[in-house]
Amino acid sequence: MEQTQNITYSNAFPIETALEMILMFDKEGKILYANAQARQKLEYENDLCGRHISDIFPNTFQNYKEDLETEFFHQAEIQNLVAYRKNTTCFPVEARLTKSDSNPEVYICMASDILEREFLGREIERIKQESEEAMKVKSEFVANVTHELRTPVNGILGNIRELKNHEMDEVIARSLNLVERCCDDMNKIINNILDFSKLEAGKFILEPRRFHFRNMLEYVKANHINKITEKGLDFFMTVSPQIPEYIIGDELRIVQILNNLLSNAQKFTSLGKITVEVFRTAQVNDKIELFFVVSDTGVGIDKGDKGKLFQSFSQVDASISRKYGGTGLGLNICKQLVELMGGRIDVESEKNRGSNFSFSIWVGICEGEEDILQRPDDIKNPLSMSGTAVSHEENGKDPEAARKYGTRENRENINRTLSKLILCVEMENWEKAEMFMETVRQLTEEAPWEVKRVVLRLKMAIQKENYEKVTAEFETLQQFL
Ligand code: ADP
């Protein structure tokens, strides 16, 4: 506690611990209060209070009698002020002078040491340069080490594949398969480390080019289907017909994100199904936004652990890395790649009920594709693999209008489907609810993004068979409609 003649502030008060020197003085120039920084820099103990302000700033305040007001208060800042220490040495400061709000008889001078500020500025610049240099050295080191590691691993892999062409007994074949798998895992880790260090150093460059979107998805599916079915899990993939055949993007990196999410889904699911869904959610000129959802019915993630997921080197708990392996870099790399593609990645998960990882990215569309996308044929087509085309005969109305979001027919159709859907939910017929959900999703395909977002959340809640969430999202959706 600092005792002044008539002003007291405790250490908990920001003025007392401020980085600037703060002096308060009365209209006669008598110092009433000096904060810790002022006492320390001016090398006084508690004897600063009671002195005259001109003892500290003799050049500025020497002529001061009673017109401090006219002399200084038209200036917001006083440049080139010189502050004198107790031992009469001095240093330049920059200061501001104001009147106290609570007491107009009290003046406040806030001053900072110019030399110290300049010194700190230079220090910050130096540290920044040093850390940039260290980062550069580190990424070069990582690049070299990973390259050095990759060469022998690929050498081993090549030899194993060569050996596998020869006749051998079952035991040796099994061992070779194991070594091959270890090498593949090692390659994955090496690639992850390399990507991570490039992303961290801001040296990662996307390589967009034209590619066949559905072929890319087939390739991703082929990568995982064996492992998924070996575990007895179901696999479904749904792609909106609104997505053109060819798009322009970094195919390799989109595959990498999907591979990572699907490997995790497969790794952490032992019962149920894994689904991949892709939607076109927005278009601006020749760019479209794609929205991917990878869902599983696996172990799920605790609410408290969600924040850790996309951080580097983060595994939800140590037992996971022991049981399933991994470096905890995968999701962080996915996040950075998704952000480079102009999107974001998110997760919705519940312990023991599964996870939905969703991400959006912006990709280019090829010349001429824009017209094709607008063709009503595409809008009419039911989603591939969904088998749940909307039955327009049911209400005998114009199918075009029923699909066109915002029309009366469309609204009626959605409302009718939603009431059937909620009935199924009440009866816990989740499979049928999912079917109606798909119809709602198709009917809202042209809806604004806010509506589509609620539809997707409702869909996820139904997939998870979460009654409370379904009713909450249902109500939100009804408000939109
Ligand atoms: P790694 O590169 O080691 O596979 P990731 O960054 O991909 O690590 O994942 C980090 C952690 O996130 C995993 O160890 C796991 O705890 C959790 N996780 C990721 N996906 C899922 C999922 N589908 N279900 C449950 N947990 C998951």
Question: Ligand 1, atom 19: nearest CA belongs to which residue?
Answer: 264
Substitution candidate for ligand 1 out of 192, 269, 309 with most atoms within 8 A of CB: 309
Query: Token digits for 58?
Result: 């003799």
Question: Ligand 1, atom 11: nearest CA belongs to which residue?
Answer: 315
Same domain membership, residue 376 and residue 314: yes
Given 393, 427, 456, the domain boundary residue is 393
Residue in this structure with the two tokens 């001429």, named with its chain if needed: 368
Q: Which atom of ligand 1 is found nearest the CA of 331?
A: 6
Same domain membership, residue 361 and residue 264: yes
CA of 274 to the centre of ligand 1 (A): 15
Same domain membership, residue 349 and residue 306: yes
CA of 258 to the centre of ligand 1 (A): 13
Report in angstroms the alpha-carbon separations of 247 from 240, 251, 364.
14, 9, 6
| Per-residue confidence (pLDDT) for residue 11, from 0 to 100 | 65
For β-strands 21-26 and 31-34, DSSP reports them as antiparallel
The total of structural domains in the chain comes to 4
| Per-residue confidence (pLDDT) for residue 3, from 0 to 100 | 42
Substitution candidate for ligand 1 out of 257, 270, 303, 331 with most atoms within 8 A of CB: 331
Given 180, 201, 222, the domain boundary residue is 201
CATH of the domain at 254: 3.30.565.10
| Per-residue confidence (pLDDT) for residue 307, from 0 to 100 | 77
| Per-residue confidence (pLDDT) for residue 322, from 0 to 100 | 53
CA of 317 to the centre of ligand 1 (A): 10
Q: Which atom of ligand 1 is found nearest the CA of 298?
A: 24
Same domain membership, residue 100 and residue 68: yes
Query: Token digits for 202?
Result: 């801001």
CA of 125 to the centre of ligand 1 (A): 38
Question: Ligand 1, atom 9: nearest CA belongs to which residue?
Answer: 328
State the burial class of residue 269 (Cβ atoms within 10 Å of its Cβ: 0-12, 13-18, 19+). Answer: buried
Q: Which long-range contacts (CB under 8 A, 24 or more apart) does 63-67 make?
A: 64/29, 66/27
Question: Ligand 1, atom 16: nearest CA belongs to which residue?
Answer: 316
Q: CB of 133 within 8 A of CB of 126?
A: no
Could you give the CA distance from residue 300 to residue 297 in angstroms, rounded to a whole number?
8
State the CB neighbour count (10 A cutoff) for residue 427: 10
Question: Ligand 1, atom 21: nearest CA belongs to which residue?
Answer: 264
Same domain membership, residue 148 and residue 59: no
Sequence letter at residue 44: Y
| Per-residue confidence (pLDDT) for residue 132, from 0 to 100 | 87
Q: Which long-range contacts (CB under 8 A, 24 or more apart) does 202-209 make?
A: 203/139, 204/336, 204/340, 206/250, 206/253, 206/340, 206/341, 207/250, 207/252, 208/248, 208/249, 208/250, 208/363, 208/364, 209/248, 209/249, 209/250, 209/251
Could you give the CA distance from residue 130 to residue 150 in angstroms, rounded to a whole number?
30
CA of 315 to the centre of ligand 1 (A): 6
Question: Ligand 1, atom 25: nearest CA belongs to which residue?
Answer: 300
Same domain membership, residue 78 and residue 52: yes
CATH of the domain at 179: 1.10.287
What DSSP state is assigned to residue 2? E
CA of 468 to the centre of ligand 1 (A): 26
Q: Which atom of ligand 1 is found nearest the CA of 324?
A: 14
Could you give the CA distance from residue 32 to residue 23 in angstroms, rounded to a whole number?
8
Residue 217 backbone phi and psi in degrees, to 5? -65, -35
CA of 302 to the centre of ligand 1 (A): 12
Q: Which residues line ligand 1 (CB under 6 A)?
A: 260, 264-265, 268, 296, 298-301, 309, 314-316, 320, 326-331, 355
Angle between helices 330-340 and 251-267 (to 10 degrees): 150
Given 378, 393, 408, the domain boundary residue is 393
CA of 318 to the centre of ligand 1 (A): 12
CATH of the domain at 55: 3.30.450.20
CA of 234 to the centre of ligand 1 (A): 20
CA of 55 to the centre of ligand 1 (A): 65
Which residues form the domain of 450?
399-480
Q: Which atom of ligand 1 is found nearest the CA of 263?
A: 4
| Per-residue confidence (pLDDT) for residue 392, from 0 to 100 | 31
Same domain membership, residue 383 and residue 344: yes
What is the residue-wise DSSP string for 156-172?
HHHHHHHHTTS---HHH
Same domain membership, residue 423 and residue 339: no
Helix/strand/coil (H, E, C) string of the chain?
CEECCCCEECCCCCCCCCCCEEEEEECCCEEEEECHHHHHHCCCCCCCCCCEHHHHCHHHHCCCCCCHHHHHCCCCCEEEEEEECCCCCEEEEEEEEEECCCCCCEEEEEEEEHHHHHHHHHHHHHHHHHHHHHHHHHHHHHHHHHHHHHHHHHHHHHHHHHHCCCCCCHHHHHHHHHHHHHHHHHHHHHHHHHHHHHHHCCCCCCCCEEEEHHHHHHHHHHHHHHHHHHCCCEEEEEECCCCCCEEEECHHHHHHHHHHHHHHHHHCCCCCEEEEEEEEEEEECCEEEEEEEEEECCCCCCHHHHHHCCCCCCCCCHHHHHHHCCCCCHHHHHHHHHHHCCCCEEEEEECCCEEEEEEEEEEEECCCHHHHHHCHHHHHCCCCCCCCCCCCCCCCCCHHHHHCCCCHHHHHHHHHHHHHHHHHHHCCCHHHHHHHHHHHHHHCCCCCHHHHHHHHHHHHHHHCCCHHHHHHHHHHHHHHC
Q: Which atom of ligand 1 is found nearest the CA of 354?
A: 24
Same domain membership, residue 388 and residue 364: yes
What DSSP state is assigned to residue 30? B
| Per-residue confidence (pLDDT) for residue 395, from 0 to 100 | 36
Residue in this structure with the two tokens 């090549």, named with its chain if needed: 158
| Per-residue confidence (pLDDT) for residue 202, from 0 to 100 | 80
> What is the rounded average pLDDT for all residues in the chain?
82
Question: Ligand 1, atom 2: nearest CA belongs to which residue?
Answer: 330
Could you give the CA distance from residue 40 to residue 50 in angstroms, rounded to a whole number?
17
The parts of the chain modelled with pLDDT lower than 50 are 1-4, 70, 371-372, 374-397
Question: Ligand 1, atom 20: nearest CA belongs to which residue?
Answer: 264
Same domain membership, residue 226 and residue 357: yes
Q: Which residues pair with 363 in a beta bridge?
A: 288
Same domain membership, residue 351 and residue 226: yes
Question: Angle at Cα 137 formed by Cα 133 and Cα 140, nearest 5°?
Answer: 140
| Per-residue confidence (pLDDT) for residue 458, from 0 to 100 | 92
Same domain membership, residue 350 and residue 265: yes
Substitution candidate for ligand 1 out of 188, 266, 268 with most atoms within 8 A of CB: 268
State the CB neighbour count (10 A cutoff) for residue 265: 26
State the CB neighbour count (10 A cutoff) for residue 95: 21
Question: Ligand 1, atom 14: nearest CA belongs to which residue?
Answer: 315
CA of 435 to the centre of ligand 1 (A): 30
Q: CB of 356 within 8 A of CB of 293?
A: yes
Question: Ligand 1, atom 13: nearest CA belongs to which residue?
Answer: 315
CA of 19 to the centre of ligand 1 (A): 44
CA of 453 to the centre of ligand 1 (A): 24
| Per-residue confidence (pLDDT) for residue 274, from 0 to 100 | 95
CA of 477 to the centre of ligand 1 (A): 31
Residues in CB range of 244: below 8 A, 6 or more apart: 213, 288, 365, 366, 369, 372, 373
